[in-house]
């Protein structure tokens, strides 16, 4: 008779972490390179750490120079999310093999946790808030650039959409890469395009004949997934956040109320038909004749600049102040962080790019790894219960067990304490579905 296999806390924790790491779709493709302070033991919810941003400098001409100071910038990453899976097991159940135990208990539980982590952080990337409405508590603002046609699945064949509204394959994904290129995102192996199941199905059908070598076409056929192509790794994620637009219309009668100046409110005058209509956090828009600039050269890219609304607002007749990100910075001589060619000007038309009149739109994402950061911390191991902790690839998970002798059952909990921040929104673009 074979001896029983008793599952230890370490075995269960390692298996849970392995399942979590392999199940995360969005998060495992973002940066997890954060300060070593995260590795300290005993971290609690509410702890904050700063993540450094790359330095930028102005280039000068001629032999004479004007020395410029290095002003390092950073964004705060707040550990304000504690994802927990509570479980109970009998002593008999703990005699299973680790494979059987994982299939029956760990995988279903941790897959649910992974989905919630992915959705939480994905929602934060688009709206600046987690799925339950809690503010991220750090970062520099949600992703502010949208391409594609809201309400139409990327990869769908046919249609007459043009320019950045295109949704056909491969144009929509090449446009996404174009936006990353003009924002100087590195052309390396760290570009990812996350798409929902509908976009994946449409795109595989539309692009399957374009990929080489043959092994990639074969993998597409066998797996039904996009794989690698068009300069990025494609990831299908059923947790892509679907955003519902406010009830505002998209009329050219919506205009800037006044020329924006530093420190002033960003405000516009709505068309009379938009009175009492709503703008939702995550709405993106352009202002006529205000162009995006290359972050390195500060030259106009010929693409209209886009901003994202960061708080819900109800429009009224006349002027209405709007909270937006990023703050407009007009490019010019000696300007290091300019993001627009001219200030948004009074009377210029405002056009929504993220959908109008309550359009529901999955927010597929193309991004470079450095656009976002996700951090977890080594949580405290209480002395009065059985506890274990494991870390893999920057993700830490804690396992606690408390035994009840009266019932021969143990109560378990698996915890991940972490936080998410948008660190480089210019290195990400939303692909509306």
pLDDT digits (tens, 9 = 90+) for 151-185: 999 988 877 888 999 999 889 999 999 999 999 89
How much is the pLDDT for 70?
57
Tokens describing residue 13: 């924790």
- Residue pair 329/307 in contact (Cβ under 8 Å)? The answer is no
pLDDT of 226 over the 70 cut = no
Q: Are residues 168 and 105 in the same domain?
A: no
Is it the case that residue 8 has pLDDT exceeding 80?
no
- Domain end marker among 311, 331, 358: 358
Predicted confidence (pLDDT) per residue in 63-118, tens digit: 665 665 555 566 777 888 899 888 777 777 766 666 677 777 778 888 888 888 99
Residue with tokens 């897959």: 111
Query: Residue 342 belongs to a domain with what CATH number?
Result: 2.40.30
Structure tokens at 334: 């000696």
Nearest C-alpha neighbor of 364 from the set 278, 271, 431: 431
d(CA 309, CA 325): 7
User: Of 336, 370, 404, which residue sits at a domain end?
Assistant: 370
Long-range Cβ contacts of 127-133 (<8 Å, 24+ apart): 127/243, 127/281, 127/282, 128/281, 128/282, 128/310, 128/325, 128/422, 129/281, 130/81, 130/420, 131/241
Contacts 24+ apart (CB under 8 A), 201-205: 201/155, 202/153, 202/154, 202/155, 202/156, 202/157, 202/169, 203/154, 203/155, 203/169, 203/173, 203/234, 204/155, 205/155
Tell me: do 237 and 260 sit in the same domain: no
As a whole number, mean pLDDT of residues 213-220 equals: 50
- 3-class secondary structure, 79: coil
Q: Dump pLDDT digits (tens) for 303-341.
A: 999 999 998 988 876 677 888 899 888 998 778 788 999
pLDDT of res. 425:
92
How many domains does the chain contain in total?
3
Q: Which of 358, 388, 405 is the last residue of a domain?
A: 358
Establish if 425 belongs to a structural domain.
no
Domain-embedded: residue 2: no
- Is the same domain home to 194 and 321? no
Domain around 173: 146-243+361-370
Amino acid 364: pLDDT: 97
Same domain flag for 387 and 306? no
My answer on whether 251 and 314 are in the same domain is yes
Provide the β-strand partners of residue 51: 75
> Could you give the CA distance from residue 234 to residue 152 in angstroms, rounded to a whole number?
19
Residue 105 lies in a domain: yes
Residue 153 belongs to some domain of the structure: yes
DSSP 385: S
**Residues 211 and 224 both lie in one domain:** yes
Write down the H helix ranges in 208-256. 214-223
pLDDT of residue 432: 96
35 lies in the same domain as 109? yes
Predicted confidence (pLDDT) per residue in 231-254, tens digit: 889 998 888 999 999 888 766 567
Give the global pTM. Answer: 0.83
Nearest Cα neighbor of 392 from 80, 2, 19 is 19
Residue 423 lies in a domain: no
Q: What is the pLDDT of residue 11?
A: 74
Contact of 325 with 392, CB cutoff 8 Å: no
> Is 314 contained in some domain?
yes
In this structure, are residues 428 and 364 in contact, taking their beta carbons and an 8 Å threshold? no
Q: Is residue 133 domain-shared with residue 151, that is, in the same domain? A: no
**Are 295 and 191 within one domain?**
no
Between the alpha carbon of residue 52 and those of residues 34, 36, 74, 250, 285, the distances in Å are: 9, 13, 4, 38, 29
Residues 352 and 388 in one domain: no
Give the span between the Cα atoms of 237 and 121, in whole angstroms: 13
The span from the CA of 373 to the CA of 26, in Å, is 11
What is the model's pLDDT at position 9?
A: 66
Confidence of residue 292 (pLDDT cuts 50, 70, 90): very high
In a domain, 60, yes or no: no
133 and 14 share one domain: yes
Q: Is residue 251 part of a domain?
A: yes
Residue 217 and residue 179 in contact, taking contact as beta carbons nearer than 8 Å: no
- Reported confidence tier of residue 2, pLDDT bands at 50, 70, 90: very low
What average pLDDT does range 124-134 have in this prediction? 92
My answer on whether 215 and 330 are in the same domain is no
Report pLDDT for 221: 40
């Amino acid at each position: 008779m074979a001896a029983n296999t008793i599952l230890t806390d370490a075995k269960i924790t390692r298996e849970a972490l392995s399942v979590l790491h392999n199940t995360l779709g969005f998060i495992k493709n973002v940066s997890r390179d954060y300060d070593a302070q995260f590795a300290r033991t005993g971290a609690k919810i509410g702890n904050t750490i700063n993540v450094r941003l790359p330095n930028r400098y102005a280039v000068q001409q001629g032999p004479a120079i004007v020395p410029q100071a290095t002003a390092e910038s950073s964004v705060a990453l707040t550990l304000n999310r504690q994802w927990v899976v509570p479980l109970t097991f009998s002593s008999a159940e703990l005699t299973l093999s680790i494979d059987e135990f994982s299939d029956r208990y760990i995988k279903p539980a941790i897959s649910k946790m992974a989905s919630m982590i992915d959705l939480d952080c994905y929602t934060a990337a688009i709206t600046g808030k987690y799925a339950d409405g809690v503010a991220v508590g750090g970062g520099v603002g949600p992703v502010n650039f949208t391409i594609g046609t809201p309400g139409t699945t990327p990869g769908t064949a046919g249609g007459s959409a043009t320019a950045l509204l295109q949704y056909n394959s491969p144009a929509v994904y090449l446009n996404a890469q174009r936006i990353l290129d003009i924002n100087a995102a590195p052309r390396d192996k760290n570009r990812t395009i996350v798409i929902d199941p509908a976009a994946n199905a449409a795109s595989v059908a539309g692009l399957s004949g374009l990929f080489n070598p043959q092994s990639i076409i074969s993998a597409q056929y066998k797996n039904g997934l996009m794989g690698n192509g068009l300069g990025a790794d494609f990831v299908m994620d059923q947790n892509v956040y679907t955003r519902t637009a406010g009830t505002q219309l998209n009329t050219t009668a919506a205009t800037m109320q006044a020329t924006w100046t530093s420190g002033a409110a960003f405000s516009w005058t709505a068309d009379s038909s938009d009175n009492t209509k709503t703008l939702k956090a995550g709405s993106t828009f352009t202002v006529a004749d205000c162009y995006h600039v290359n972050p390195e050269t500060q030259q106009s890219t010929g693409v209209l600049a886009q901003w994202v609304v960061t708080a819900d607002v109800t429009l009224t007749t006349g002027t209405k102040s709007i909270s937006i990100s990023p703050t407009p910075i007009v490019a010019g001589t000696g300007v290091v962080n300019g993001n627009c060619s001219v200030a948004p000007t009074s009377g210029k038309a405002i056009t929504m790019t993220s959908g109008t009149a309550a359009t529901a739109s999955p927010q597929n994402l193309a991004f470079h790894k450095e656009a976002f950061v996700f951090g977890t911390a080594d949580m405290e191991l209480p002395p009065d219960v059985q506890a274990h902790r494991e870390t893999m690839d920057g993700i830490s998970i804690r396992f606690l067990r408390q035994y009840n002798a009266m019932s021969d059952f143990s109560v378990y909990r698996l915890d991940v304490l972490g936080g998410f921040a948008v660190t480089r929104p210019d290195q990400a673009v939303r692909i509306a579905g």
